[in-house]
A and B are shown apart, each in its own frame.
Chain A
């Protein structure tokens, strides 16, 4: 057996190991229901912003605290706590992708928000909010 083959085999073996471990890194899209059964684990949840509910952001009290309500695909409504500034023009978005986790008190903390704004003639606008 050639040395090259040995080294290549080693490389391939290690890359298979790496790729296998990479899969453990990947998150999944969940609903509020399925995410709440694993508190502390971070998931992506796709939901609709509830514009008729309160959106609270008062930077004078805390520039990194914003709360709003969203409803997921299964129709479950949840209050979301976002540890960051209120994303600009979130009012204009409909579908939002939230990245976050439930704490042990059953509250959903969101660390990243991605918004999709509907528009008549424009192609969809995608905007993004990130917590610090």
Chain B
């Protein structure tokens, strides 16, 4: 029995599904054809030619299908077709247009699509440029596309087992059994989608995932070229394209990772740009192996050494991308990550394991099969040579990636460790310290080497010249490090060494660029990239070492306060400050006031901005020397049942950032919806000096003002208007402000204009003014009936945390410089003619 459903748009989904199948079949066809083309290369060139053409056709068809899938899904999201689960789950009617694309990467299927999409685009470029290696690289690329295609296949065999998951599944199919779907007009009730996670509604999140995924996808190309080289037993042809793609890859992946850092810094609360979170590590590790592989391949290009190592590192990089997908997408990280990635069932876990296994077997089999044939050089390299130290540097980078991978993978190996040792391993208690303590030495070694190696030449260098130049730069760098260390109070010796290493990196690379390379831009790639790298190290050191909280009254240091219990000590050291609505509170050299809050509706989400004013006064003159306002906010998101998310707000200076976010809030707009129970009470005053007491202070009546000059009041002909002068005092901070409610007699009717004092939640108006005639007790006097309402003062408050990041701009600058360096090198490499052909191999 089939129900006929009303109002569904099935066509886009059917088309999408059709293209999913087409793209899969086309990639299969392409992989097979290219494979046949390789097989017939020697025996039958004309047949090989036809297979190649077929392979190309298949891949082009594949790429077109992928783009069509993209368009179909975008159409569904853009037109809010909530009969599709993907649109219902990840978007809503009111979602701003610029975030529509971000819906793609909120969901699992969309992320895989983005990845496949980049592979297809890059594959087209490789097809056009790979020339002699086209058939083999394209066979690998198409094969990987076959694997990836199964991820969005969506073949369902029962509730637990499925191969891939389709983005085109209907809402009613994804929730079978829900009673609503037995009604033909169920769509009348599905009026809006769930909306997009608020933390993704950020401009960084529009740009960060595509760039990062391009970085992930680009690792496939060096992988394909390395396998192709082994396959063809040609270890010359692949060098130039592999270098070019690795440079491109290093730049894009590096940018993608740091964009994630910038996003975390701007919109997450973990108080920084890097937290050694497993998800961050999962993309850093492949970047490290990529950079190591790139350098070893440079060694190979110039000296014919270390070919095996280059191939191992570059193929490993792509395998690690799959592994990091496994870590972040299957929910295995569950309890160790702040990112809310959770499981998509056992199917995906096994699916990814099978793919990783197949790619790993392919790589190892190729290496083993060709092992004997890989050219190796038996002689020993010189100690003072570029290749020797470049190789050491790469090994150190590789060791660094191993350490990060071991700790990040705790949830993967802990079941095994438990079986062996009986201990249930958990991540280190202080994760940041754990990584920093080890990685600081990697940074020192790599930072130092990155500057030193440029001074040495490949094969043979003149030790004296090198020593002279390096000695000079080391002296300048030492002076620079001393100055910075002194000025910034960097007193931990490990970090002093890092400070020297990064200063040395900066000085040496600048010196090298100017003196040795004579600032010829084309040749500056390595020194610019290395300069950027050293600047990044310096930026990380400066911004994290002296990162401190200012949101407590006394000091930025952690003192043992000598209290009896841990809790009391912690309280003294605590970094949260309570800010009452309207009450100025001292915080470091600032006086901070939570002024007001305002509501902003964005899509389905209610965002409350808390206006927090910072004022710095000169202690001697009491003049305000600096004043700025920050707007940390709190989101009430429809996702996750109205869980409140707070986002930071940051004041940027050239030399430091003040970073604030709200940890807790009470009252304010959040609770404004509850009825205001307070009522106006009547207070009678007669003479100047009479006082009215308030909940949090008092008001003094200063007299009447018969000439009302107030912009709220527009006079009319027959009006009689009078304003009352009331000076308000806060019981803690003293005089606040004079307020002037106005009474108007117009056409023999009373009218009043209220005056309010928002920071004390005070509302006043004049009910009437009468003149009491003289009697036996009193003189003739005015009777002024003032109505006063104060809505629960001091109940609105926020708990704020404020951190200072010194010199964080040095870090951002370093990244930009480094990426720029990659592109200079890439440009230089592509301009060079015949750089791929290297001298004949010495046997």
A86 lies within 8 A of B664 (CB):
yes
CB distance from B8 to the nearest CB of A (A): 20
- B335 & A132 in contact (Cβ 8 Å cutoff): no
Write out, one digit per residue, whether chain B residues 332-343 have a CB within 8 A of any chain A CB (1) or not (0): 001101111011
Residue of A nearest to B174 (CB): A121
Q: Do the beta carbons of A85 and B664 come within 8 Å of each other?
A: yes
B549 within 8 A of A: yes
Chain B residues contacting A130 (CB-CB under 8 Å) are: 270
Is A83's CB under 8 angstroms from B410's CB? no
List A contacts of B391 (CB < 8 A). 4
B380 within 8 A of A: yes
Q: Is the CB of A109 within 8 A of B566?
A: yes
**Which residues B768-806 have CB closer than 8 A to chain A?**
797, 799, 801
Interface size of A in residues (CB-CB distance below 8 Å): 54
Interface residues of B in 562-617 (CB under 8 A from A): 565-567, 570-571, 573-578
Known contacts A26-B425, A65-B571; decide if A89 and B644 are in contact (CB<8 Å): yes
Nearest Cβ on chain A to B272's Cβ, whole angstroms:
12
Docked pose: A126 CA to B339 CA in angstroms: 8
Q: Is B9 an interface residue (CB 8 A)?
A: no
B381 touches A4 (CB 8 A): yes
**Are B565 and A103 neighbours in the complex by a CB distance under 8 Å?**
yes
B568 to chain A, nearest CB (A): 10
Interface 9-residue window, one of B492-500, B635-643, B651-659, B831-839? B635-643
Per a CB cutoff under 8 Å, which of B344, B403, B429 touches A22? B403
Smallest CB separation, B581 vs chain A (Å): 13
Cα distance, A112 to B487, chains bound together (Å) = 34
- Interface flags, A1-32, vs B, CB<8A=1, else 0: 01110011001000100110010011111100
CB of A74 within 8 A of chain B? no
Output the least CB separation between B234 and chain A (Å): 26
- Which chain B positions have C-beta within 8 A of A64? 570-571, 574-576
Give chain A residues whose Cβ lies under 8 Å from the Cβ of B429: 27, 42, 99
B489 in contact (CB, < 8 A): no
Identify the closest chain B residue to A60 (Cβ).
Answer: B578
Does B567 contact A65, Cβ atoms closer than 8 Å? yes
Contact A7 B426 (CB under 8 A): no
Per-residue contact bits, chain A 106-132, to B (CB 8 Å; 1 contact, 0 not): 000100001001010111111110111
Query: Would B403 and A59 count as touching, CB distance under 8 A?
Result: no
Q: Which residue of B lies closest to A105 (CB)?
A: B565
A63 lies within 8 A of B549 (CB): no
Q: Which residues of B contact A105 (CB under 8 A)?
A: 565
Partner of A27, one of B270, B428, B549: B428
| Separation of A65 and B641 alpha carbons in the complex (Å) | 26
Complex interface bits, A79-112 against B, C-beta within 8 A gives 1, otherwise 0: 0010111101100100001010001010001000
Which of A26, A43, A57, A127 has most chain B Cβ within 10 Å? Answer: A26
Question: At the interface, yes or no: B759 with Cβ under 8 Å from chain A?
Answer: no
Contact of B643 with A89 in the complex, beta carbons under 8 Å: yes
B residues near A109, Cβ cutoff 8 Å: 566-567
A48 to chain B, nearest CB (A): 14
Residue of B nearest to A97 (CB): B335
Query: In the complex, A105 Cα to B566 Cα: how many Å?
Result: 11
Contacting residue for B567 out of A46, A83, A125, CB 8 A = A83
The residue in chain B whose Cβ has the minimal distance to the Cβ of A66 is B664
Interface core residue of A30, A65, A84 (most chain B CB under 10 Å): A84
Docked Cα-Cα span, A25 to B570, in Å, equals 23
Q: Which residue in B338, B342, B406 is a CB contact (below 8 Å) of A19? A: B406
A12 to B508, CA, bound (A): 29
Main DSSP-derived SS at the B contact region: mixed
B427 within 8 A of A: yes
Best-buried of A92, A103, A123, A125 by chain B (most CB within 10 Å) = A123
A62 — nearest CB in chain B belongs to which residue?
Answer: B571
CA distance in complex: A124, B566 (Å): 33
List A contacts of B575 (CB < 8 A).
64, 132
Q: Determine the residue in chain B with the shortest Cβ distance to A7.
A: B392
What is the CB-to-nearest-CB distance from A74 to chain B, in angstroms, rounded to a whole number? 14
- Nearest-CB distance from B303 to chain A (Å)? 12
The answer to whether B207 has its CB under 8 Å from any CB of chain A is no
Given contact pairs A26-B426, A28-B425, A99-B429, A63 touches B403 in the complex (Cβ within 8 A): no
User: Least Cβ distance of B435 to chain A in Å?
Assistant: 10
Partner of B428, one of A11, A26, A65, A92: A26
Q: Chain B contacts of A59 at CB under 8 A?
A: 576, 578, 664, 666, 797, 799
**How far is the CB of B383 from the nearest CB of chain A, in Å?**
6
Q: Does B474 lie at the interface of the complex (its beta carbon under 8 Å from any beta carbon of A)? A: no
Contact with B along A41-78 (1 / 0, CB 8 A): 01110100000000001011011110000000000000
B690 shortest CB reach to chain A, Å? 33
Q: How far is the CA of A26 from the CA of B336 in the complex (A)?
A: 13
Most buried by B among A22, A30, A103, A131: A22
Instruction: Give Cα A28–Cα B388 distance, bound, in whole angstroms.
Output: 41
Residues of B within 8 A of A123 (CB): 342-344
Known interface pairs A22-B407, A85-B664. Does A63 touch B576 (Cβ–Cβ under 8 Å)? Answer: yes
Provided the pairs A64-B571, A114-B335 are in contact, do residues A119 and B640 lie with their beta carbons within 8 angstroms? yes
Complex Cα gap A81–B388 (Å): 55
Residues in A whose Cβ lies below 8 Å from that of B639: 122
Determine if A26 and B410 form an interchain contact, defined as CB atoms under 8 angstroms apart.
Answer: yes
How far does the Cβ of B220 sit from chain A's closest Cβ, in whole Å? 29
User: Is the beta-carbon distance between B438 and A22 smaller than 8 angstroms?
Assistant: yes
Chain B residues with CB under 8 Å of A19's CB are 402-403, 406
A63–B577 CB distance below 8 A: yes
| Interface-centre pick from A81, A92, A114, A132 (highest chain B CB count, 10 A) | A132
B817 within 8 A of A: no
Q: Which residue of B lies closest to A121 (CB)?
A: B175
* B428 contact set on A, CB distance < 8 A: 25-27
B798 → A minimal CB distance (Å): 9
Asked if residues A4 and B403 are in contact (CB atoms below 8 Å), the reply is no
Contact at A26–B643, with CB atoms within 8 Å? no
Name which residue of chain B comes closest to A67, CB basis: B567
Q: For residue A103, which residues in chain B have a CB less than 8 angstroms away from its CB?
A: 565-566
B799 / chain A contacts, CB cutoff of 8 Å: 59, 63, 85
- CB-based contact B567/A28 at 8 Å: no
- Contact pick for A85, options B344, B380, B403, B663, CB 8 Å: B663
A-B contact pairs, 7 of them (CB 8 A): A26-B425, A62-B574, A63-B664, A88-B664, A89-B643, A122-B640, A126-B342
11 other A-B residue contacts (CB within 8 Å) besides A22-B438, A63-B663, A122-B641: A3-B383, A27-B426, A28-B424, A60-B578, A63-B576, A64-B571, A83-B566, A124-B342, A124-B343, A125-B643, A126-B337
Question: Which A residues form the contact surface with B (CB < 8 A)?
Answer: 2-4, 7-8, 11, 15, 18-19, 22, 25-30, 42-44, 46, 57, 59-60, 62-65, 81, 83-86, 88-89, 92, 97, 99, 103, 105, 109, 114, 117, 119, 121-128, 130-132
- Which 10 residue pairs spanning A and B have beta carbons closest together? A64-B574, A132-B575, A83-B570, A29-B424, A44-B426, A85-B663, A27-B426, A25-B428, A63-B576, A42-B429
